[in-house]
Structure 1
Amino acid sequence: MTRFEDITVVVQGPVQTFQDREQEAGITQKCLESVRTYLPGATVILSTWPDQELDGLDYDELVISPDPGPNIRNFHKDGSPQYYNNNRQIVSTLAGLKQVKTPYAIKLRSDNFLTGNAFVALQQQFPERGESLRFLRERVVVSNVFTRRYAKGFQVAFHLSDFFYYGLTEDLLRIWDLQLLEDLPLSQAASNRGGPGGFPIDCTQMFWLRTLNKVYPDIRLTGLLDNRPEVLAQSDQCYANNLVIGSPEDIGLGLCQKFSGNARIARTKGKCAQWQFFEWKDLYRRYCQPDYRPDVTALHRLKLFLTRLIHVFPTRLETSVRLRKG
């Protein structure tokens, strides 16, 4: 088992409300304290922005980066730009990871926290790997929150969460060493939507595609709902051969109020649209270890199907109507 002393936790993001991004009071202190509780001996790097209030925060190393500002990926119907914090996430994550000296690292948002350390064992629990679209040296553990299997009623590809990553430091750097995004010109807004009436690629898809394209430049998505069979197969193979996808309970991750309680992603409709841990295990069996048997009952599979039948699949009709209208 990996020693906690071999792990560095990069806590990235704002400490307080920053540039109109609201932050739950005291959440970063809770985050840092949870690392000390569940990973005693691990190194903690806080990677944040200038002029943050740092009193009382327990970290080993501080990284302050110039704020790159928000980036424009889309436009509203009235032509006004939609702003995202993609470049901020790249900057704070990469700046922290570049200071890591231990063999293993964690990328943890400053508004989330640990509830355990099960991810350490999970990372080594699935040793077999296939060769197809395998590009990381070891597996990386990620959260299923926002790792969507379905969006707007349809299957989606490469929709990988950006909340939590645990694995070899070199693998996390391979994932997050990304160029900053340039603002999308208004003239390209229509082509960015995945066709008439379509939906643009999600931010999480964008991050993963930019990582993959460094190794596999031919992998492309036309939009959020580009679910051609060959694209879904590529996505499944990437997940199976490079990752472990588990729920917060499976890996030991706590979420801030924005993503828990009554938040949309935490409701039944949001949770059942995500990849489930046993579904990732199905991929592991299919692409890596054919004799592996996921520890899930037929009743559990049936319950998930029925839940999706109620909460996910009916949305396809609404989406299809919108796509036809253009």
Structure 2
Amino acid sequence: MPAKEVSLLPPIRNDEITLVFQGEAHPCLERNVARSRAVLPGVKIVVSTLDVGGGSLKRFDLDVDFIVSDDPGALPPYKKGKRAPVNNVNRQIATSRAGLARVKSRYAVKIRTDCELSSRAFVDIYSRVAERVPNPNRLLTSSIYTLHPDGIEAFPFHLSDWFFFGPTELLRTYYDVPFMTGEDAVWFNAERPHTKGSNYFARRYCARFSPEQYLTIEFAKKIGGYVTPSFLNDSSERIKSEYQRFLSKECIVCEPDDLGLRFDKYAHASRSNYQFFNCVWGSDWEKMRERFEEVVAASKTSRELLTPSRPGPDAGRRRAAVRAMRRIDLILPLLGTAGLMPLVGDVLGFYRKLEGLTSDA
């Protein structure tokens, strides 16, 4: 096998990075900005939020570039249920796009206003990966809510939108997408039902795609060369293979704690047995990337690159857990109504412990 070409990326300095805090002006914003600045001295900071009316917007006493955009409005809830949150994907697009437009540095972070950085570990991770892969221009993102192609929910092309780091122009491309339409926001209805065999988690959705999926799919279509889903749980073997290729070639996926990302609101997600079998962990991503590079090195035609990559050593145990979830699919709505869904997590935790599985497996 010929020697692999690698990138010689120079060290990334703090003054080459801009943090774009995007979203609602939470009470914790001032603290999050201060703590993030403390671990990244010299970094530039942009806060991009919305004018939602009613005089509720608070301008903090911060040494930042503070941007207030017009509110494009919320879309209807993307899931069913009385407590389902409204769909804020267009608000995220508007504020992220406005914030990134102000960035002048080579690299940028897009981070939620209710998150903070506890270290610059994400820079070191990005640099280490860039030194050993052919394409260093990648999006570094959180493992939590970057969904696995063989995971429980099985929603392909679903990157976590908590945090992104990478070249500024690449982040701008990611968010330079059209707003989600009203039709896509209420795609599934009596006239357009979910496909036969859709699992419980897909059947809860009204929107054609989750907010995270919508952004990832639009980005994948823009950079070209990827076959993307037509709806939320469009997960044929071809599309799953394309998703793995996308993750391997365009992304870096890592656990929030390893990135230095703190998100207190969802701290429990990193400990969730459900999410363990649902998300792409750093070790999963490394295996995907290695298998993809093996296929690229061995392939003689472009068609070979589109065949499903062979499963990793832990794929069988993940798929066994997912098959078990599918067997109880019809009773999951009853468990949810009765408030017994935590029992599912307990059973998954027992299986995980029995098999000795960890996120580093």
TM-score if structure 1 supplies the norm length? 0.78
For 1:44, the equivalent position in structure 2 comes to 45
2:75/2:185 contact within 8 Å kept: no
Structure 2: where are the runs of 5+ without partners?
Answer: 1-10, 203-207, 296-312, 333-361
Change (3 A) 1:185 1:280: closer
C-alpha contact (below 8 Å) 1:73/1:184 kept by paired residues = no
RMSD of aligned alpha carbons: 3.3
Cα distance between partner residues in 2 of 1:152 and 1:167? 26
> Equivalent residue of 1:11, what SS?
strand
Equivalent residue number for residue 260 of structure 1: 267
Give, in whole Å, the separation in 2 of the partners of 1:73 and 1:4.
39
Task: Give the Å deviation of 1:234.
Answer: 0.6
- Superposed displacement of residue 37, structure 1: 1.4
CA contact 2:96–2:110 (8 Å) conserved in 1: yes
Q: Could you say if the C-alpha distance between residues 229 and 306 of structure 1 is closer, same or farther in structure 2, counting changes exceeding 3 Å?
A: closer
Find the partner of 2:326 among 313, 316, 319.
Answer: 316
CA contact (8 A) 1:46 1:59 kept: no
Letter in 1 for 2:172: L
List aligned pairs for 1:153-192, cutoff 5 A.
153=152, 155-184=154-183, 188-190=187-189
8 A contact 2:148–2:280 mirrored in 1: yes
Given that 1:27 and 1:111 are in contact with CA atoms closer than 8 Å, whether structure 2 keeps it comes out as yes
TM-score of the aligned structures, taking structure 2 as reference length: 0.71
Return the structure number with greater strand share. 1
1:13 maps onto 2:23 in alignment = yes
Change in CA separation of 1:320 and 1:129 when aligned onto 2, cut-off 3 Å: farther
AA paired with 1:87? Answer: N
- Give how far 1:318 is off: 3.1
Tell which structure's C-alpha radius of gyration is larger. Answer: 2
1:66-119, CA deviations, whole angstroms, 9 ceiling, x for partnerless residues?
1111023757599xx983001000001010000100000000000111121111
Q: Is the 8 A contact 2:188 2:194 kept in 1?
A: no
Following the alignment from structure 1 to structure 2, what is the Cα–Cα distance between the partners of residues 185 and 309? 33
| CA-to-aligned-CA distance 1:196-235 (integer Å, 9 cap, x gap) | 5633432211110011112338733143332211111111
* Counterpart position of 1:104: 107
Alignment-derived partner of residue 3 in structure 1 = 13
User: 2-side partners of 1:54 and 1:186: how far apart?
Assistant: 31
For 2:69, give the aligned amino acid: S
In the alignment, which of 57, 65, 68 is matched to residue 64 of structure 1? 68
Tell whether 2:239 aligns with 1:231: yes
TM alignment of 1:85-164, pairs within 5 A: 85-127=88-130, 128-129=132-133, 138-149=137-148, 153=152, 155-164=154-163
Q: Which residue of 2 aligns with 1:34?
A: 35
- State the alpha-carbon separation in 1 of the partners of residues 192 and 331 from structure 2: 20
Partner of 1:250: 258
Q: Which amino acid aligns with 1:236?
A: Q
Identity of aligned residues (%): 22
